[in-house]
Amino acid sequence: MIKPRTPPGVMELLPRDQIAFQRMLDVIRRNYERFGFLPVETPVFELSEVLLTKTGGETERQVYFVQSTGSLEQGGQPELALRFDLTVPLARYVAEHEHDLAFPFRRYQIQRVYRGERAQRGRFREFYQCDIDVIGKDTLSVRHDAEMPAVIHAVFTELGVGPFTIQLNNRKLLRGFFEGLGIAEGERQALVLREIDKIDKRGAVAVRATLVGGDFGLSDDVADRILAFVQVRSTSHADALAKLVALGQGSGILNEGVAELREVLELLKAHGVPEANYALNFSIARGLDYYTGTVYETTLNDHPQIGSVCSGGRYENLASSYTKSKLPGVGISIGATRLFWQLREAGIISTAESSVEVMVGLMDEARLSDSLDIARRLRAGGINAEVQLEAKKLAKQFQYADRAGIRFVVLYGDDEATRDVVKVKDLKSQEQFEVGREELAAALKVELEQQRAMGAR
């Protein structure tokens, strides 16, 4: 006998949690589709040679390699590896199918990715990423950069996770600002920004001390200006525009960054995103070697400890490893597994009601055919129904429905048959009513839709 268990670092859910998680994925997918993104799925594994174009580094050390039994026995090197994100597969996909795709190419992809992370609470080796990207050919208007926050707004509003803020910044603005201070080299900017990232943990005073200390050797004035700059947060749409004006004229690159952010802000308003849901945050940098323009992070106002729940940005060229075509893009990603885990830990989401909406109870073996017919009508009416196939004690049947999170129990015995009605018990409100057998599906549809409209899950 072997002990049944999963490998460490995976999130496996009981059915009612899986239903809650599935609803989260459905909300994300529905909103991605609303904004006109097209579905793409790629294989879980890629050829190692194709996946690992940039050898070495942290990323590769975390890769899972895949080998068939035959290849393993021959002692060869693994030809396959599990994807560690959805960006490299997207690059490969777009380059491979370039001539069959229409640009700007708008795709969404909701699949699991794999990283050999050290096992740790809340860290997953297998997790869902939910990505959208718009890929241009040669050029891509900055107008697309404003679509991303509009999608984020739609998704997180429907997820119902409380107030949230989409934080905006622009890498060109960052670059221009640092160059203006004489910190021109990209590597050095990155090191400074890495220190800046520690402000929350170490405090501004300690970080400032590091910046003026031996390794960096910045002047007091430069350190002060950096600290003031990275603490800029806008408090409204007008304030965001004012904060951009306050930067004044600078280098070409700074001015470009300012102009792009201004356009994004204006279009965000046109998209109808409420100003409470976005803000400038000049400390946001994201992957410095990858993003080149607008960058995004999203935080839950009441749960800052969760960190960013949706991030992304604009990049210059998606697939330089695979094609000579220049493919600029902009995209965002939601790490749904970690998000779900964190929201559950924070008590923001809980176990869902069952996806089974109605249980048809069985009072009498002789009524089984009636039960099946009632269930058939419910299903034809778009209601998820389960049938009790054995006439166990009624109390047991109710207990089962209650534990399973099924809201309605329907009963049809001799008494009901005489009057051609069905008895309905609402386990949530504890109310009970009767309805004509023919009208059952329509009546329950109304009840269930009322519940949905009231936002109950």
Within 332-391, the residues that bind a second copy by CB under 8 A are 354-356, 359, 368-369, 372-373, 376, 379, 382-387, 389-390
Number of residues that bind a second copy (CB under 8 A): 99
User: Which CB, 232 or 368, lies closer to a second copy?
Assistant: 368
Q: How far is the CB of 374 from a second copy (least distance, A)?
A: 11
Residue type, 94: V
User: Which CB, 47 or 206, lies closer to a second copy?
Assistant: 47
**Which residue is listed with tokens 């939910």?**
130
Which residues ranging from 156 to 215 are in contact with a second copy (CB under 8 A)?
none
Q: How far apart are CA 222 and CA 107, in angstroms?
A: 42
Residue 56-85 contact track with a second copy, rule CB under 8 A, x = bound: ----xxxxxxxxxxx-x-----xxx-x---
Q: Please name every residue paired with 128 in a beta bridge, in sequence order, or none if there are none.
A: 112
> Which residues, other chains included, contact 457 with Cβ-Cβ below 8 Å and sequence gap of 6+?
20, 23, 160, 352, 353
Query: Which of 24, 27, 95, 261 touches a second copy by CB under 8 A?
Result: 95
User: Which CB, 317 or 323, lies closer to a second copy?
Assistant: 323
Q: How far apart are CA 424 and CA 435, in angstroms?
A: 8
Nearest residue to 335 via CA among 11, 94, 39, 119: 11
Residue 379 CB-half CA count within 13 A: 12
The radius of gyration of the chain's CA atoms, rounded to the nearest angstrom, is 27
**Which residue is listed with tokens 């997180």?**
156
Q: How far is the CB of 323 from a second copy (least distance, A)?
A: 7
Stretch in the footprint of a second copy (CB under 8 A) among 5-13, 178-186, 248-256, 441-449:
5-13
User: Which CB, 91 or 174, lies closer to a second copy?
Assistant: 91
Q: Binding to a second copy by residue 394, rule CB under 8 A?
A: no
Which residues ranging from 117 to 156 are in contact with a second copy (CB under 8 A)?
126, 141, 143-144, 147, 154
User: Which CB, 129 or 354, lies closer to a second copy?
Assistant: 354
Q: Binding to a second copy by residue 49, rule CB under 8 A?
A: yes
Q: How far is the CB of 231 from a second copy (least distance, A)?
A: 32
Which residues ranging from 254 to 273 are in contact with a second copy (CB under 8 A)?
267, 270-272
Nearest residue to 145 via CA among 330, 286, 333: 330
Stretch in the footprint of a second copy (CB under 8 A) among 111-119, 168-176, 297-305, 310-318:
111-119
Write the DSSP string, 25-51.
HHHHHHHHHHTTPEE----SEEEHHHH
User: Which CB, 12 or 414, lies closer to a second copy?
Assistant: 12
Burial pattern 53-65, b for ≥16 Cβ within 10 A else e, equals: eeeeeeeeeebbe
| C-alpha dihedral sign at 364, 369, 373, 378 | positive
Which residues ranging from 402 to 431 are in contact with a second copy (CB under 8 A)?
403-404
**Which residue is listed with tokens 């996946």?**
51
Residue 293-322 contact track with a second copy, rule CB under 8 A, x = bound: --------------------------x-xx
